[in-house]
Amino acid sequence: MAKKVKKKELGMGIRALLSNMDEEVEKDQEKVVKELSQQVAMIPVAEVEVNPFQPRNDFDEEALEELADSINVHGLIQPITVRRMSPSEYQLISGERRLRASKMAGLEEIPAYIRIANDQQMLEMALVENIQREQLNAIEIAITYQRLKEECALTDKTLAGRVGKKRSTITNHLRLLTLPPDIQEAVKNQELSMGHARALAGVDDYALRKHFFDQTRSKKLSVRALEKMIQAYKAPKSKSGKETLPDDYKNVQQNFRSFFGSKRVQLKLKSDGKGQIVIPFGSVEELNQLIDRIEEE
């Protein structure tokens, strides 16, 4: 069952604000924009229509299914952004992939940032102000940077100037959004620091990254210890000249050896996650035995 966003996460006055939106906008549009920029609302999926001018039409179905499975386990961490057209109608601004995956996951409601008409300049100012809030965690800051880029059409360089940060700082935060939901949740819950997350974001291979993540949590590794561990695995050989493998990969290698009945089978892993399965044989007879083993399955 998909994870629900808790009511306390939505902001105390968000529902009242949405129910009286038109009246509140007439009174003080800037105040409304500022409030909405900080709050996440749960809105019915059925009330969100895709922008007809959305340039992207092709979506990887397998990737969508993987995201849907993740949403079923962890919920949707990064809300979509919509523009309110009427009390029961919203138009998507960004997050169509997240919207599609949420529908596949069977969600009836979806977390969303809500915008109103003609709010571009005020929204940018409100989001920049939000970033200055000390209580934001690294993922919340990354999401805000992403919103500024997508919704206000800012480049990394322009964004860095707006928020008074180095361009590398912007890039490092945005990379956190490429991490899987369980790691992002750990950062949000302060189980991992920004430094830990940055180190994990530099590991492309899924199994390796999960191995490092699990080790960090179970052994309470410092950022330096995690970085040293990652660096050690990126080095192809140890001092003895023998290749080293993470425990998960050693188990895979052992399974191959058991299957083929040979201790000479090797799983070779490169730092980029690519590798080889090496199955040596000493004679035609041994080769035929290996072939027989495969055909038996």
pLDDT tens sequence across 220-252? 999 999 998 888 876 655 445 455 677 778 888
- Annotated active-site residue in 30, 65, 66, 96: 96
Q: CA–CA separation, 273 vs 254, rounded Å? A: 19
**Can you read off the two tokens belonging to residue 81?**
């952004």
Residue 60 half-sphere exposure toward CB, CA atoms < 13 A: 4
CB 35 within 8 A of CB 10: no
Q: CA–CA separation, 63 vs 125, rounded Å? A: 34
**What pLDDT does 134 receive?**
67
Q: Which helix (H) or strand (E) holds 130?
A: helix 120-131
Q: Does domain 7-178 have CATH number 3.90.1530.10?
A: yes
Tokens 């660096």: give the residue: 231
Q: How long, in residues, is the chain?
A: 297
Tokens 């922008």: give the residue: 51
Tokens 């500024």: give the residue: 148
Across the chain, mean pLDDT equals 83
Long-range pairs for 251-260 at CB < 8 Å and ≥24 separation? 259/293, 260/290, 260/293
- Respond yes or no: is residue 66 known to be catalytic: no
Amino acid in the structure at residue 16 = A
Q: CA–CA separation, 216 vs 228, rounded Å? A: 12
Q: Which helix (H) or strand (E) holds 165?
A: none
**What pLDDT does 7 receive?**
38
Point out which residues pair with 269 in neighbouring strands: 275
Q: DSSP assignment, residue 6?
A: P
Q: CA–CA separation, 56 vs 52, rounded Å? A: 10
Report pLDDT digits (tens) over 185-216: 999 988 999 999 999 998 888 888 888 999 99
Range(s) within the chain of domains with CATH label 3.90.1530.10: 7-178
Amino acid in the structure at residue 82 = V
Residue 11 has pLDDT above 70, yes or no: no
Q: Among 26-30, 61-65, 179-183, 188-192, name the one with the lowest average pLDDT.
A: 26-30
Q: CA–CA separation, 47 vs 105, rounded Å? A: 17
Q: CA–CA separation, 224 vs 233, rounded Å? A: 14
Residue 106 has pLDDT above 60, yes or no: yes
**What pLDDT does 54 receive?**
59
Q: DSSP assignment, residue 77?
A: S
Point out which residues pair with 43 in neighbouring strands: 110
**What pLDDT does 242 receive?**
56
Q: Among 3-7, 11-15, 242-246, 282-286, name the one with the lowest average pLDDT.
A: 3-7
Q: Any alpha helices (H) in 5-60, and if so which ranges?
A: 14-19, 21-27, 29-38
**What pLDDT does 13 receive?**
66
**What pLDDT does 187 receive?**
93
Residue 142 has pLDDT above 60, yes or no: yes
**What pLDDT does 9 receive?**
44
**pLDDT more than 70, % of the chain:** 88
pTM for the predicted model, two decimal places: 0.63
